[in-house]
Chain A
């Protein structure tokens, strides 16, 4: 199979618009969690979320007008604009702007979302009830469909290769990168723009996730301390929004054009729990099997993994993942670091896996494990270094990034420092 490397990164997160400002603020221990201020929360159990910092585009703020024309923005839900921002950054970073027909047909896109345009669907439902079907816009459907994130990106950047999308709840971003890597490995494309995007911070989605008892409700008055994976006071996840997109490229294609190579995508594993619609299987077997499959694909053992970016949502599931990782690592547990960056940016649902894959890649680049914020009192003992409170410089040559989603869908990615 052909080798696949990462040559471009792009993201919009609750910390900043852009990879470098986000990474800087992550390593500085900043939190993107705030009190929700753009809609009524008095009757909601959860009143906090990790919103993207919006502004004029300066100082790491997100200005949608830089990424999509205002008249187009009006037609779509924000997850599409986030994807445009992250994909454009990633392609600029990779220096890949295909103009010839041959380059265009070998460049594809695979961007997913967990729930897509839920806000637009909610708004249109009210309009239908109040005003009737003649008031529903022709842009209602195309502006809500999950694969239209990739559709818009392909049109804007002339990507005529495989055009695909993933919908696997909170595993979406990881599955998108893994599947896109396989399309390159098998020769369906030479370049893939891959990742996840999500814009779930609205009354309907907060009400829905709160009803699942999945959201943090005990820290409404203290938002920056709300997301606390592995801590004994954790009580649910904090919803975030944003997008993470990478440019994956066949190794020889990247070398031939002198592209900068961040890392090699060496492993991808998938599994299903077949257990419960929202809870992971209690024995962590699904998590264990997808991590094992990713390492097997990479031709590596647990001993080779230096850093794990955990799914770690700040829920009851944290300990299940931790047990599965301990089982995977065995005697290597004591020399491995694992952190949850959701402690800083919240849970970006369908974008989580791709944003966290980028953090994992940057951990290799900068030889530093980002911290698990708010981990004051671990709820269980573990030999694994959970990198509490402050990031830790260390040797990092290989990373594993985990994502687990509602429906019992699991994905793990393994990246390794590129070596010829």
Chain B
């Protein structure tokens, strides 16, 4: 597992208050991890903060699962 994947999973587990083992790459923030739409906005902000990058709104809308976030950040994180 990449360093980015590990950090993403840690952020997701902390922000959503879920067990780390539930945070798999296929897990959907809303359907599997109990997030609501405001939680997902805050998660994206947390990724921006941690990876020192900007995630535009149209890109943020495509980040629906843990794997989506990892893929985006592996491509775009500084």
Contacts and interface: CB of A to CB of B under 8 A. Distances in A.
B38 A71 contact: no
Contacts of A137: 42, 45
Contacts of B54: 134
A71 B45 CA distance: 16
Contact of A138 (B17, B41, B48): B41
A135 B47 CA distance: 11
Nearest to B15: A71
B15 A135 contact: no
A71 B42 contact: no
B71 to A, nearest CB: 22
B42 A135 contact: no
Interface residues of A, number: 9
A138 B16 contact: no
Contacts of B48: 134
Q: Is the interface of B mostly helix, strand, loop or mixed?
A: helix
Interface in A40-81: 69-71
Contact of B17 (A71, A139, A142): A71
A323 B38 CA distance: 53
Interface string B32-45: 00000010011001
Contacts of B17: 69-71
Given A134-B45, A134-B48, A139 B38 contact: yes
A140 to B, nearest CB: 10
Nearest to B43: A138
B68 to A, nearest CB: 19
Contact of B38 (A70, A134, A138): A138
Interface in A117-165: 134-135, 137-139, 142
Contacts of B38: 138-139, 142
A71 B16 contact: yes
Contacts of B49: 135
Given A137-B45, A139-B38, 16 more contacts: A69-B17, A70-B17, A71-B15, A71-B16, A71-B17, A134-B45, A134-B48, A134-B54, A135-B45, A135-B49, A137-B42, A138-B38, A138-B41, A138-B42, A139-B42, A142-B38
18 contacts: A69-B17, A70-B17, A71-B15, A71-B16, A71-B17, A134-B45, A134-B48, A134-B54, A135-B45, A135-B49, A137-B42, A137-B45, A138-B38, A138-B41, A138-B42, A139-B38, A139-B42, A142-B38
Interface of B: 15-17, 38, 41-42, 45, 48-49, 54
Interface of A: 69-71, 134-135, 137-139, 142
